[in-house]
Amino acid sequence: MSDRYSQFASSAPGRFLVGRLGLPNPVPLRRHRQGDPVIDGAVLLGGAPGGRLAEPVGKLLRSMGVDVRAEQPTGARPAALVFDASGIADSGQLGELHAFFNPVLRSLARSGRVVVLGIAPQDCAQPRQATAQRALEGFVRSVGKEVGGGGTASLVYVAPGVEDAVESTLRFLLSPKSAFVSGQVVRIGPGMVDAPADWERPLAGKVALVTGASRGIGEAIAEVLSRDGAHVVCLDVPAQGADLSALANRIGGSALQLDITAADAPTRLATHLRERHGGVDVVVHNAGVTRDKKLANMRAEQWDLVLEVNLSAQERIDDALLAEGLLNPGGRVVSVSSISGIAGNVGQTNYATSKAGVIGMVQSMAPVLAAKDVTINAVAPGFIETAMTAAVPLVTREVGRRMNSLAQGGLPVDVAETIAWFANPASGGVAGNVVRVCGQSLIGA
């Protein structure tokens, strides 16, 4: 869908007017192309005294071929600023953030990355340490709003003893794959980490199921998981059969026509996965519908359909796959929530209830699945340029698009890349996370 304002703002007269009038300034975001390095430019790495992450992270980045510097490179803009805040044990030491970032933030390259590493407050031994570590959230969320130029900022809490589990997350957050992810807090804990032999095809030999795959975000998810090496079982309703087959053919996957709300859907799906593939490695619950009406005007069918498709059908499918032992060890379940599920929205009591339920499902199922070496996470997209958002009335659409730190809508591929990071075999420590793909939207922030 064309974003005429973004096109205008990146023209010469547009840049002049945007600057003069203080209008939203969407800069074209860099996106990943197959074969690109993780990051194009040097990473400036610093840390507070006593931190435990700077050293292993520096080693890891170097092993990935990244140019890691302890001092600002002369004559070049760093592509990322990475700061190990794990040594901060008291609010009095938070000045270390200012000392590191103040002199260098202005020199960060376009589409630059800020990543702060810390310890989740619940993993801290002392209240003062937990307080100081919690403070990092406010810092990162503000930097995300200040950084400009298509840059992003993220906070990664790394549990003690899992320093080796951060690679897939750093690869994602430092690269253009995370173009529309900013102001987010990621938690890495214990879990089975299986570094792929080839980071260009981390899902080689894996089977992935994507529901609602025939168009929009689901189509992009299927394409990205296939690019990463998976055989993708593309599922959608029979009415979408033609588009579904075209996609499956294009990506060398298979098509499965199924309404996930049908009473026999879990059994039919389980049978298909068992007989054709002997199980499944990645399950992406993307199928979703809206039936917007204010609650006072909403019919019961409108409520029921949205709750069924967006939440209850997913629970029944997961139960069936688990009961039959079809989720392979190292498996990944990813569900698509929404910022409406976080913030609520007028006319969307049904949708927001279902999408908040998805977050509840992630939180309640994470420990259950961890016992089987399976992770569950969710993405919560904000304004993504799809047929769904193209149908939104102009003024609402413009407001939705601009009300985020990047002043533009995201693309389906931004959601897909985030899901591919969760799906990576090296992301075993990334569980129970809900990551917004919203350009740091003000909605629900």
Tell which residue, 278, 368, 366, 287, has the closest CA to residue 328: 278
Beta carbon nearer to ligand NAD, 331 or 409: 409
Longest alpha-carbon distance in the chain: 64
- Mark whether 157 is an active-site residue: no
Contacts of 335 (CB under 8 A, 6+ apart): 284, 285, 314, 358, 361, 362, 376, 377, 378, 379
The residues in 103-132 that bind ligand NAD, with binding defined as CB under 6 A, are: none
Tell whether residue 345 is a contact of ligand NAD (CB under 6 A). Answer: no
Q: 99 has which bridge partners?
A: none
Q: Cβ distance 166 to 423 under 8 Å?
A: no
Tell whether residue 348 is a contact of ligand NAD (CB under 6 A). Answer: no
Beta carbon nearer to ligand NAD, 6 or 129: 6
DSSP 379-434: EEE-SB-SHHHHTS-HHHHHHHHHSBTTSS-B-HHHHHHHHHHHHSGGGTT--S-E
Q: How far apart are CA 414 and CA 316, in angstroms?
A: 28
Q: How many residues does the structure list for the chain?
A: 445
Beta carbon nearer to ligand NAD, 112 or 409: 409
Q: Cβ distance 375 to 191 under 8 Å?
A: yes
| Choice from 84, 96, 236, 318 touching ligand NAD (CB under 6 A) | 236
# chain residues binding ligand NAD, by CB under 6 A: 27
The residues in 266-305 that bind ligand NAD, with binding defined as CB under 6 A, are: 286-289
The residues in 385-424 that bind ligand NAD, with binding defined as CB under 6 A, are: 386-389
Beta carbon nearer to ligand NAD, 201 or 293: 293
Q: How far apart are CA 303 and CA 295, in angstroms?
A: 9
| String of contacts with ligand NAD for each residue 10-49, x by CB under 6 A | ----------------------------------------
Q: How far apart are CA 55 and CA 60, in angstroms?
A: 9
Q: How far apart are CA 374 and CA 325, in angstroms?
A: 12
Beta carbon nearer to ligand NAD, 214 or 404: 214
Beta carbon nearer to ligand NAD, 89 or 361: 361
Q: How far apart are CA 263 and CA 271, in angstroms?
A: 14
| Choice from 51, 191, 381, 439 touching ligand NAD (CB under 6 A) | 381
| Choice from 25, 86, 226, 338 touching ligand NAD (CB under 6 A) | 338
Q: Which stretch binds ligand NAD (CB under 6 A): 269-277, 325-333, 362-370, 382-390?
A: 382-390
Report in angstroms how near the CB of residue 421 gets to ligand NAD at its nearest: 17
Tell whether residue 309 is a contact of ligand NAD (CB under 6 A). Answer: yes
Alpha helices, DSSP H, located in 282-380: 300-307, 313-323, 340-343, 349-370
Q: Catalytic: which of 351, 383, 421, 422? A: 351
Distance of CA 357 to the CA centre of its chain: 18
Tell whether residue 217 is a contact of ligand NAD (CB under 6 A). Answer: yes
Enzyme catalytic residues: 351
User: Residue numbers of the site for ligand NAD (CB under 6 A)?
Assistant: 211-212, 214-218, 236-237, 240, 259-261, 286-289, 309, 336, 338, 381, 383-384, 386-389
